[in-house]
Amino acid sequence: MQTLDVENSGLPDLQFVLIVLALCTSDLPSLNVPEDVRQTIFHRCWALMHDTPPPAKGEDRVLDLRDGTDLTLEAMVEVIRGALSSHGITQLRWDHPSSETTRATTPQALPLVDRLQKLYPADPDIADDSNQPH
């Protein structure tokens, strides 16, 4: 079971928002957030960045935060925390096993992946599968 403390996640705001929005738009039945609350969070965050209604199709329900501002990001954090708090949810809980990689890393992304691996080396207790085909 994975958990995320809503008030003290230990994550930067951008990561917090991305994770919560990903969870809210997922169809994970084990997430402890009712569907109506998930919809409310997504719709309110969508409205902070768009003048159009949110997409109806699940696969289109993705927020591109690259054009957002710090103020927009702060507002999304408050929207998320407020919606969850008003429903008595202080911690998100979900169960989802890791899935296999579905795509190979593109050649353009390899330098970034290499730098990230240097910044955040793999846990030595975890088997190294970086040489495995993806």
Q: Kindly report which listed range (2-6, 24-28, 89-93, 95-99) carries the lowest average pLDDT score.
A: 95-99
- Put simply, whether the predicted model's pTM sits higher than 0.75 gets the answer no
- Residues forming a β-bridge with 92: 4
Q: What is the mean pLDDT of the chain?
A: 86
Is residue 92 within 8 Å of 3, Cβ to Cβ?
A: yes
pLDDT computed for residue 88 by the predictor: 97
CA distance 77 to 39: 15
pLDDT computed for residue 112 by the predictor: 74
For residue 101, what is the DSSP state? -
Q: Is residue 70 part of a domain?
A: yes
Q: Is residue 103 part of a domain?
A: no
Q: Is residue 23 part of a domain?
A: yes
Q: Is residue 28 part of a domain?
A: yes
Grade residue 134 by pLDDT with cuts at 50, 70 and 90: very low
pLDDT computed for residue 130 by the predictor: 47
Q: Among all chains, which residue has been given the structure tokens 């084990």?
A: 30
Structural domain total, the chain: 1
Q: Is residue 134 part of a domain?
A: no
Q: Is residue 20 part of a domain?
A: yes
**84-124 pLDDT, tens digit each:** 999 999 999 999 776 666 667 778 777 777 777 777 776 55
Instruction: Supply 91's token pair.
Output: 């911690």
The alpha helices in 8-103, defined as continuous H runs, are 13-25, 35-49, 70-86
Q: Is residue 13 part of a domain?
A: yes
Is residue 81 within 8 Å of 6, Cβ to Cβ?
A: yes
Ramachandran area for residue 99 (φ above 0: left; ψ -120 to 50: alpha; else beta)? beta
Q: Is residue 32 part of a domain?
A: yes
Residue of 56, 53, 55, 23 lying closest to 41 (CA atoms):
23
Q: Above 90 in pLDDT, residue 44?
A: yes
Segments forming the whole domain that contains residue 63: 2-94
Higher pLDDT pick, 57 / 132: 57
pLDDT computed for residue 99 by the predictor: 63
- Residues forming a β-bridge with 3: 93
